[in-house]
């Protein structure tokens, strides 16, 4: 065995060594600097490649690069950078000498030559695509601001991608929708990282709500494995938005595909480039906190009540006592610390390149028992044993530790307690003064942590035996192991006897992928490109849960030592296999017609259903290169114009095991003994098949004014049919609950429009601007659940305040209003109860209009100001907190006390008092559902690039300092604290503002150093 | 090699790769599921012994639940609970949207019935010819038969396996088919067990127990059908001193005695405002005498925790409950024989258990007294609703509560027209 291995090593070295030896004998170097053609600003992260050799480099922040060991002779050097026109120049490399080769790149906002990932082998030029793909340059974003997660990277920068955040507590995640909610039962996209399928599920955290372990069944804030990866390691993210573009990804891609491309090194005997980033900052609660009021009225002075209201003693009649417990109490809120350290090295030799990085992030929340810490390491290697093949190995290991504060609609949540306080009232215990249910001393003991470890390993072999034939083999594993822990020591709130619960989910996702692409030039005009491939994905999750109640001593917390213990385990597996074939016909490199079909089979399909096929077709026409039109377009200052149209289908697979009729095993008491017994578990559905998302999109990309203005317009119309809906099973079948059934149809349509402009560009000032706008119209076309005209979204605790109803947006708000007499007074029945109308539609619960407006102003080449304004509109939010404050018997709802209160509660205004009384009686009435449009100053930063001469003594090649802020300003008419948050962040459609932590303001200073 | 030929070869290679990769897909696509048994796998003979356990496993928790909710629906308990659906059940104002009814009664009852029907058919396939003398089949059949009897006694009508609703009499007929088969199989199992060398006495005893259990159920069902003489003949076959029980334990909430859960661990019902409130002094109707929980029932006669006193008999978490007995057979015999001397003797014997003085009644008064003793002896063990419906249908005696609902401040009344459970919405709108 050992000798066989030795033989393998010798052969491998022999395969690589000859080219190395040959390279060293007759080579020179190329060095140079790359700048913008206007303004001469240095451009970093430009990929420089010597054609035909595989050698290359990436420029540093000063735009400098060096490529060593370039074979002597005439060489073509190609440079490529997102946002610039790819350029190539020929240079004569002399053996033993260094040749200077500088480039001045033109901006190209339309990006027709940009290479993107489409699912086929190799990269594809954007000009050939009939659909839109949004690319986020994460490396550039990291150079000008602070982003902590993929969610933050994508938020407000990708039109059509709507983030529905949960809360501002670090480590919490929301849901996100690409081009609207595509189904009643799920709408998450699939994510790949360097070609390997990436788990984005919840980490298995315990919901931070409820009372003790009883709250475990509830759901509130969720986490996402997507946010584990550090943005520092990401080069770019590509968002493929709908079935028209995602057909090649098959039966799980109907809701879009996100491709994460991590940083890589570049071949060439170049100096290793070390980069260091250090950052220090803080998070703070910058928005309002609840203010509570007590009016010292005559009732509170009455002898019977005086002891209850000691705060009113000595006050005059009518005095209003106010209290803001979250601000008053020193242990309620803090300024959280943010620290980030990152060290990476990039480089490469003749036959390899590498990127190594380590990151350490510490993010404290504003609550004393909140944090989210992350350590990560990444190693990406590329080996080029021959000129026709390369092999990439991408590995990353991430370790996180998250602690969630008790929040949302929980009696033991600090925010709830603060919002329902009653100033001046005798507290149950002295420390509870001003708080309703719990005070910080107790709340801060809540210990809900989730630790996770994630190993992602991917290998990709690219083999290009001929210039016209490319092959890619990818194999990968994404392994996420988490340990969620909820610990109550004896005496803690909720579990006074002490309790300990642990949940350990382990998720493994395996990917095997082959893709081949063959080009065939019929003649100088026509070119055919054939692509084919197969993809296998296997997803396994095992979860072990244990809990113990009754801890004898605070220092002994093992579950097994508790007085009562229980445990459960679960397992889930899903396997899928897909094949595709695609043919593209290109005419004169400006008209591209593409047709493809993908076939999928999946372990969750019903036995009566075999394989699903998804077709696609698209046309891309770079009409600006049409000789007959180019002059006309140029006369209109249009430099480039691509028209595109795409139609395609993709799917979403059923839940694992949903198709099978299954039984499980349970216990049975048999006299004095216990035995095992079968129980019916799932009725199954042998006809179950995936949802079918079908989409047509039309649009254009245009570059105007010498590519200083780019327009990107897309109209899409996406319909999901055969939705996977849980339908109750007739109990007389003997099976419990429900089964997944293909029913109904939902439609999403809208426009996505982006204007990117270089508004001003000269040697001193450059002003780049990007305005993106997206609309989403979501309609449930048909429902088809027998016997039902509407359904309440799963997990909505307030009944039909949200409904899925045909003809309306899914999860839209519905509420009752009081019936009125002619004089405006409410209609009451004989018992005096207010009579309400039947529920009427109020509006959508998710944004239907989104605008992102980003500006970057660069002064004197080294000072950069960046801002991002984020507007979301056309939606409503259930202000449950305000409803509670108004329904409770206190004075917190009084407008004469609080100008922001929803209702007057002024005894002098009896009519208005009556109006409050009308609404007080209704649980989910229209009064509590408010328009939630808002504008946020989402990101702001100032970046200063230090002059090179300052850095020379320290040996650094470039450095910049970034002062950045996030969630700096909020403008809204919404009366709650933050219209963006949702107390049910982990639920697909449920949206309510019930004491969720608002988004916090973050300020930080970072320094980037490159050696 | 020309460019074109190469291309053709590449195409061929690609197709071969795709075809080859598809060959192993069927195995690959079979996802492991250690938490479940796929229905086809139940044909494995190793599951044969699990099948009767499975019916018992569904029956026992179901029995506790239906005994409770039928007691509330009938006149045994007054349950003006905070949760409004329970109050509606007490008033017999049950509509198809009542989720409590669906979750706690209808669903579990049909799961039991299905497990029995499905299990019996499966056992016959698995055991072949030997099934007709296998006690496991007899057990499976008899529990299934009882679930049909209960469905008939409770429901206005109900579908089986998602079909069209069928009325109680058809449900009773199906029950009797199963009782008969269970009796025959148990008898054959007994014979086979005793024919062994040495004889398998344990199985023979078990067969006797199953046979008696089936006989009582059959007689009860025949009475439900008003087949009085047939009921008499069946009841007379029941062995003396026979009892058959549903067992509970502290293992899990599902295995707990449901009355312990509702009346000892919590206070979710009372015999106040029921006819049983007046039965003070009868140790068969014990209750908490005073205090905040006054009139909360304690363990009655069918429960293992019965103390044969009027106090000190809390329900226990793992206490068993009598389902069928020779006492019930005696009641059936007496009811069919009518107001004869033996009936009076029997009535007075039962009155003695209740610390009541003997009576010398005749005619309708004696039969009324027989009904009174029956409701005392079978208090809270799932006989009352069937009895009330039977009395109303065949004897024109309507003892369902009527009029104003006690404790109501909003004018609620009992639903005088309702004497059976409707179908839940999940049944009428669910899929099959």
B312 DSSP 8-state letter: S
Q: What pLDDT is recorded for position A618?
A: 95
Report the residue from B54, B118, B427 with minimal CB separation from A731: B427
Rounded to whole angstroms, the Cα distance separating A91 from A72 reads 10
| Whole-number percent of chain A with pLDDT over 90 | 58
Q: Do B37 and A787 touch (CB under 8 A)?
A: no
Minimal-distance CA residue of chain B relative to A605? B29
Q: Which of A564-578, A638-652, B226-240 has the highest mean pLDDT?
A: B226-240
Q: How confident is the model at residue A23 (pLDDT cuts 50, 70, 90)?
A: very low
Residue ranges of B 17-36 with Cβ closer than 8 A to chain A: 17-18, 21-22, 25, 28-36
Q: What pLDDT is recorded for position A900?
A: 67
Residues A539-557: what's their mean pLDDT? 93
Q: Do A574 and B25 touch (CB under 8 A)?
A: no
Q: What pLDDT is recorded for position A675?
A: 94
Q: Which of A33-37, A115-119, A466-470, A545-549 has the highest mean pLDDT?
A: A545-549
B67 DSSP 8-state letter: H
A926 and A935 Cβ atoms separated by less than 8 Å: no
Q: What pLDDT is recorded for position B50?
A: 92
Tokens of B359: 């009576």
Q: pLDDT of A653-682, one tens digit each? A: 999 999 999 999 999 999 889 999 999 999
Tokens of B264: 């000892």
Residues A632-647: what's their mean pLDDT? 92
Question: What are the residue ranges of helices labelled H in B74-200?
Answer: 84-90, 99-101, 107-127, 135-154, 168-195
Tokens of A259: 């491709």
Q: Do A571 and B32 touch (CB under 8 A)?
A: yes
Q: Return the closest-CA partner of residue A204 out of A577, A501, A530.
A: A501
Q: Do A666 and B254 touch (CB under 8 A)?
A: yes
Residue with the two structure tokens 């029921």: B274
Q: Is 0.80 topped by the overall pTM?
A: yes
Rounded to whole angstroms, the Cα distance separating B157 from A110 reads 70
CA angle B80/B83/B84 to nearest 5° reads 75
Q: Do A677 and B50 touch (CB under 8 A)?
A: yes
Cis status, amide bond into B198, omega within 30 of 0: yes
Q: What pLDDT is recorded for position B13?
A: 61
Determine the 3-state secondary structure of B224 from DSSP.
helix
Assess B352–A contact: CB distance below 8 Å, yes or no: no
A696 and A614 Cβ atoms separated by less than 8 Å: no
Rounded to whole angstroms, the Cα distance separating B172 from B418 reads 20
Straight-line distance from the first to the last Cα atom of chain A, in angstroms, rounded to the nearest whole number? 44
Rounded to whole angstroms, the Cα distance separating A750 from A850 reads 11
Cβ-count burial of B95 within 10 angstroms (0-12 exposed, 13-18 middle, 19+ buried)?
exposed
Q: Which of A172-181, A488-497, A602-611, B145-154 has the highest mean pLDDT?
A: B145-154
In this prediction, the answer to ipTM > 0.90 reads: yes
Report the residue from B18, B161, B318 with minimal CB separation from A732: B161
Residues A157-173: what's their mean pLDDT? 91
Q: What pLDDT is recorded for position B173?
A: 98
Q: Where are the beta strands (DSSP E) in A320-442?
A: 320-323, 336-348, 352-364, 371-386, 389-403
B269 and B72 Cβ atoms separated by less than 8 Å: yes
Determine the 3-state secondary structure of A46 from DSSP.
coil
Report strand pairing: A257-262 vs A190-193: parallel
Q: Do B35 and A534 touch (CB under 8 A)?
A: no
For residue A389, pLDDT over 50 is answered with yes
Q: Do B11 and A518 touch (CB under 8 A)?
A: yes
State phi, psi for B148 to the nearest 5 degrees.
-65, -40
Q: Where are the beta strands (DSSP E) in A179-233?
A: 190-193, 196-198
Tokens of A404: 């969630």
CA dihedral sign of residues A623, A627, A629, A635: positive
Q: Do A663 and B36 touch (CB under 8 A)?
A: yes
Rounded to whole angstroms, the Cα distance separating B58 from A680 reads 10
Q: Return the closest-CA partner of residue A311 out of A330, A293, A329.
A: A293
CA A828 to the chain's CA centroid: 48
Assess B162–A contact: CB distance below 8 Å, yes or no: yes
Q: What pLDDT is recorded for position A549?
A: 94
Report strand pairing: A98-100 vs A27-36: parallel
Q: How confident is the model at residue A13 (pLDDT cuts 50, 70, 90)?
A: very low
Q: pLDDT of A98-156, one tens digit each? A: 999 999 888 776 677 777 777 777 777 888 889 888 889 998 888 888 899 999 999 88
Q: pLDDT of A480-509, one tens digit each? A: 999 999 999 998 888 999 999 999 999 999
Tokens of A884: 């509670």
Tokens of A903: 């209702």
Q: pLDDT of A303-356, one tens digit each? A: 778 889 999 999 998 898 999 999 999 999 999 999 999 999 998 887 889 999
Helix (H) or strand (E) holding A7: helix A2-25
Determine the 3-state secondary structure of A981 from DSSP.
coil
CA A117 to the chain's CA centroid: 19
Contacts of A599 in chain B (CB under 8 A): none
Q: Which of A457-471, A736-750, B55-69 has the highest mean pLDDT?
A: B55-69
Q: What pLDDT is recorded for position B355?
A: 96
Q: pLDDT of A254-280, one tens digit each? A: 999 999 999 998 776 567 889 999 999
Rounded to whole angstroms, the Cα distance separating B365 from B354 reads 18
Q: Do A577 and B161 touch (CB under 8 A)?
A: no
- The stretches in chain B having pLDDT less than 70 are 1-26, 81-82
- Burial string for A384-403 (b: 16+ CB within 10 Å, else e) reads beeebebbbbbbbbbbbbbb
Minimal-distance CA residue of chain A relative to B3? A520
Order the strands of the A87-93 sheet from edge to edge.
A56-58, A47-50, A73-80, A87-93
The answer for A914, left when phi > 0, alpha when psi is -120 to 50, beta otherwise, is alpha
Helix (H) or strand (E) holding A777: strand A777-782
Q: What pLDDT is recorded for position A536?
A: 94
B261 DSSP 8-state letter: I
Residue ranges of B 270-309 with Cβ closer than 8 A to chain A: none
Q: How confident is the model at residue A772 (pLDDT cuts 50, 70, 90)?
A: very high
Q: pLDDT of B378-405, one tens digit each? A: 999 999 999 999 999 999 999 999 999 9
Tokens of A321: 């006592």
Q: Which of A42-51, A815-824, A974-983 has the highest mean pLDDT?
A: A974-983
A71 and A94 Cβ atoms separated by less than 8 Å: no
**Separate counts of helices (H) and strands (E) for chain A:** 13, 49
**Per 3-state DSSP, what percentage of chain B is helix, strand, and coil (rounded to 5)?**
60, 5, 35
Assess B37–A contact: CB distance below 8 Å, yes or no: yes
Tokens of A85: 């026109």
B23-29: Cβ within 8 A, 24+ apart? B25/A577, B25/A601, B28/A536, B28/A538, B28/A575, B28/A577, B29/A575, B29/A576, B29/A577, B29/A601, B29/A602, B29/A603
Rounded to whole angstroms, the Cα distance separating A55 from A49 reads 6
Rounded to whole angstroms, the Cα distance separating A21 from A388 reads 18
Q: What's chain B's length in residues?
A: 432
Report the residue from A534, A577, A676 with minimal CB separation from B29: A577
Minimal-distance CA residue of chain B relative to A529? B7
Rounded to whole angstroms, the Cα distance separating B233 from B218 reads 10
Q: Do B10 and A516 touch (CB under 8 A)?
A: yes
Quickly count: other Cβ atoms within 10 Å of residue A139's Cβ: 20
Q: Return the closest-CA partner of residue A529 out of A583, A477, A572.
A: A583
The answer for A154, left when phi > 0, alpha when psi is -120 to 50, beta otherwise, is alpha
Q: Do A664 and B35 touch (CB under 8 A)?
A: yes
Assess B427–A contact: CB distance below 8 Å, yes or no: yes
Q: pLDDT of A202-222, one tens digit each? A: 898 888 877 777 765 555 788
Q: How confident is the model at residue A174 (pLDDT cuts 50, 70, 90)?
A: confident
Assess B1–A contact: CB distance below 8 Å, yes or no: no
């Amino acid at each position: 065995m050992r000798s066989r291995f030795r033989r393998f090593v010798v052969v491998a070295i022999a395969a690589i060594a000859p080219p190395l030896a040959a390279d060293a004998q007759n080579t020179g170097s190329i060095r140079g600097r790359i700048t913008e053609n206007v303004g001469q600003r240095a451009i970093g992260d430009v990929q420089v490649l010597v054609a035909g050799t595989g050698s290359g480099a990436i420029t540093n922040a000063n735009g400098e690069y060096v490529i060593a060991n370039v074979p002597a002779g005439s060489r073509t050097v190609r440079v490529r950078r997102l946002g610039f026109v790819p350029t190539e120049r020929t240079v004569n490399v002399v053996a033993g000498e260094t040749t200077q080769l500088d480039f001045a790149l033109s901006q190209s906002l339309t990006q027709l030559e940009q290479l993107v990932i489409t699912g086929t082998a190799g990269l594809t030029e954007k000009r050939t695509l009939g659909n839109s793909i949004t690319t986020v340059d994460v490396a550039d974003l990291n150079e000008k601001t602070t982003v902590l997660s993929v969610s933050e990277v994508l938020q407000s920068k990708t039109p059509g991608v709507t983030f529905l955040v949960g809360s501002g507590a670090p480590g919490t995640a929301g849901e996100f929708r690409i081009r609207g909610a595509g189904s009643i039962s799920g709408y998450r996209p699939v994510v790949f990282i360097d070609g390997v399928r990436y788990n984005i599920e919840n980490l298995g955290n315990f919901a931070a709500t409820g009372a003790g372990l009883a709250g475990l069944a509830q759901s509130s804030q969720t986490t996402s494995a997507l946010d584990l990866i550090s943005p520092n390691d990401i080069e770019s993210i590509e968002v493929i938005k709908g079935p028209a573009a995602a057909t090649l990804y098959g039966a799980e891609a109907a809701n879009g595909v996100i491709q994460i491309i991590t940083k890589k090194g570049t071949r060439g005997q170049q100096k290793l480039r070390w980069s260091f980033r250090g950052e220090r900052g803080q998070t703070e609660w910058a928005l309002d906190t609840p203010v509570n009021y007590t009016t010292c009225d005559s009732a509170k002075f009455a002898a019977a009540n005086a002891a209850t209201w000691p705060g009113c003693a000595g006050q005059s009649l009518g005095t209003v006592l106010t209290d803001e417990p979250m601000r008053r109490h020193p242990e309620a809120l803090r300024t959280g610390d943010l620290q980030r350290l990152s060290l990476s090295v990039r480089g490469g030799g003749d036959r390899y390149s590498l990127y190594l990085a380590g990151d350490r992030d510490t993010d404290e929340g504003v609550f004393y028992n909140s944090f989210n810490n992350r350590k990560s390491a990444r190693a990406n290697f590329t080996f080029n044993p021959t000129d026709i093949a390369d092999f990439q190995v991408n590995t990353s290991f991430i370790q996180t530790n998250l602690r969630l504060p008790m929040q949302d609609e929980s009696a033991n949540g600090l925010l709830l307690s603060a919002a329902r306080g009653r100033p001046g009232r005798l507290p149950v215990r002295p420390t509870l003064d001003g708080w309703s249910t719990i005070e910080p001393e107790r709340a801060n003991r809540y210990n809900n942590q989730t630790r996770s470890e994630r190993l992602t390993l991917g290998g990709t072999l690219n083999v290009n035996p001929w210039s016209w034939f490319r092959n890619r083999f990818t194999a990968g594993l994404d392994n996420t192991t988490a340990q969620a822990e909820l610990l109550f020591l004896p005496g803690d709130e909720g579990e006074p006897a002490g309790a300990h619960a642990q949940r350990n989910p382990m998720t493994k996702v395996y990917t095997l992928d082959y893709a081949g692409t063959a080009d065939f030039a019929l003649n100088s005009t026509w070119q055919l490109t054939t692509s084919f491939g197969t993809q296998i994905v296997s997803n396994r999750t095992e979860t072990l849960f244990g809990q113990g109640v009754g801890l004898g001593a605070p220092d002994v917390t093992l579950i097994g030592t508790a007085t009562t213990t229980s445990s459960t385990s679960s397992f889930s597996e899903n396997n899928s296999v897909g094949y595709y074939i695609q043919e593209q016909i290109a005419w004169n490199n400006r008209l591209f017609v593409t047709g493809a079909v993908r076939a999928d089979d999946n372990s969750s399909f019903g036995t009566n259903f075999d394989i699903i096929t998804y077709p696609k077709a698209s046309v891309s026409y770079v009409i600006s290169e049409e000789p007959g039109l180019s002059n006309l377009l140029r006369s209109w200052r249009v430099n480039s114009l691509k028209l595109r149209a795409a139609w395609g289908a993709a799917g979403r697979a059923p839940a694992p095991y949903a198709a099978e009729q299954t039984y499980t095993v349970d216990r049975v008491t048999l006299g004095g003994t216990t035995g095992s017994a079968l129980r019916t578990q799932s009725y199954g559905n042998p006809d179950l098949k995936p949802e079918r998302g079908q989409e047509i999109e039309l649009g254009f990309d245009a570059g105007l004014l010498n590519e200083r203005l780019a327009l990107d317009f897309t109209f899409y119309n996406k319909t999901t049919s055969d939705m996977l809906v849980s339908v109750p099973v007739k109990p007389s079948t003997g099976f419990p609950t429900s089964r997944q059934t293909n029913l109904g149809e939902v439609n999403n349509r809208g426009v996505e429009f982006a204007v990117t402009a270089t508004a001003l560009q000269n040697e001193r000032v450059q002003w780049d601007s990007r305005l993106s706008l997206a609309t989403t119209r979501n309609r449930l076309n048909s429902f088809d659940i027998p016997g039902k005209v509407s359904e309440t979204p799963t997990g909505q605790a307030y009944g039909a305040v949200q409904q899925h109803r045909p003809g309306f947006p899914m999860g839209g708000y519905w509420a009752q209003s009081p019936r009125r007499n002619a004089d405006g007074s409410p209609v009451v029945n004989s018992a005096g109860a207010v009579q309400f109308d039947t529920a009427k539609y109020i509006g959508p619960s998710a944004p239907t209009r989104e605008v992102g407006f980003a500006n970057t102003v660069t002064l004197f080449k080294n000072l950069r100001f960046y801002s991002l304004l984020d507007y979301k509109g056309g939606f409503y939010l259930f202000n449950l907190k305000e409803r509670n404050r108004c329904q409770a018997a206190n004075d917190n709802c009084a407008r004469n006390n609080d100008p922001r209160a929803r209702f007057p509660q002024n005894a002098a205004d009896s009519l208005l008092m009556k109006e409050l009384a009308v609404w007080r009686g209704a649980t989910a009435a229209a009064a509590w559902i408010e328009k939630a449009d808002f504008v946020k100053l989402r990101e702001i930063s100032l970046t200063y690039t230090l002059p090179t001469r300052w850095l020379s003594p320290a040996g650094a090649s470039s450095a910049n300092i970034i002062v950045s802020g996030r969630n700096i300003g909020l403008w809204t008419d919404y009366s709650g604290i933050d219209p963006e948050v949702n107390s049910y962040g982990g639920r697909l459609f449920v949206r309510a503002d019930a004491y969720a932590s608002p988004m916090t303001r973050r300020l930080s200073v970072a320094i980037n150093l490159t050696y | 090699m020309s460019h074109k030929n190469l291309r053709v070869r590449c195409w061929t290679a690609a197709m071969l790769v795709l075809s080859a990769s598809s060959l192993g897909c069927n195995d690959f696509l079979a996802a492991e599921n250690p938490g479940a048994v796929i229905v086809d796998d139940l044909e494995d003979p190793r599951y044969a012994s699990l099948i009767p356990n499975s019916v018992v496993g569904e029956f026992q928790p179901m029995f506790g639940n239906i005994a409770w909710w039928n007691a509330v629906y009938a006149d045994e308990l007054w349950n003006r609970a905070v949760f409004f659906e329970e109050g509606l059940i007490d008033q017999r104002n049950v509509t198809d949207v009542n989720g409590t009814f669906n979750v706690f009664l209808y669903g579990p009852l049909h799961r039991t019935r299905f497990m029995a029907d499905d299990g019996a058919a499966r056992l016959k396939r698995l055991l072949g010819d030997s099934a007709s003398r296998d006690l496991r089949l007899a057990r499976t059949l008899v529990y299934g038969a009882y679930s049909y009897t209960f469905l008939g006694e409770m429901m206005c009508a109900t579908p089986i396996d998602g079909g069209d609703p069928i009325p109680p009499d058809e449900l009773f007929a199906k029950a009797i088919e199963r009782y008969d088969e269970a009796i025959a199989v148990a008898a054959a199992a007994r014979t086979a067990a005793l024919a062994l060398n040495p004889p398998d006495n344990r199985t023979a005893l078990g067969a006797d127990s199953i046979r008696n259990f089936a006989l009582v159920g059959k007689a009860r069902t025949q009475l439900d059908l008003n087949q009085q003489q047939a009921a008499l003949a069946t009841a007379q076959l029941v062995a003396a001193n026979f009892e058959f029980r549903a067992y509970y334990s502290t293992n899990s909430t599902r295995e707990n005695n449901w009355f312990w859960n509702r009346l000892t661990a919590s206070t979710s019902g009372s015999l106040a405002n029921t006819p049983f409130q007046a039965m003070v002094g009868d140790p068969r109707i014990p209750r908490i005498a005073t205090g905040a929980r006054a009139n909360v029932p304690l363990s009655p006669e069918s429960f293992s925790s019965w103390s044969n006193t009027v106090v000190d008999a809390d329900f226990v978490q793992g206490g068993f409950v009598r389902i069928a007995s020779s006492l019930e057979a005696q009641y059936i015999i007496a009811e069919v024989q009518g107001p004869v001397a033996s009936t009076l003797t029997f009535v007075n014997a039962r009155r003695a258990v209740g610390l009541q003085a003997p009576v010398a009644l005749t005619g309708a008064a004696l039969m009324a007294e027989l009904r009174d003793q029956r409701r005392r002896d079978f208090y809270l063990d799932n006989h009352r609703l069937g009895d009330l419906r039977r009395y109303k249908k065949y004897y024109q005696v309507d003892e369902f509560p009527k009029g104003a609902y006690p404790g109501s401040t909003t004018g609620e009344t009992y639903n005088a027209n309702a004497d059976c459970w409707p179908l839940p919405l999940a049944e009428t709108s669910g899929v099959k």
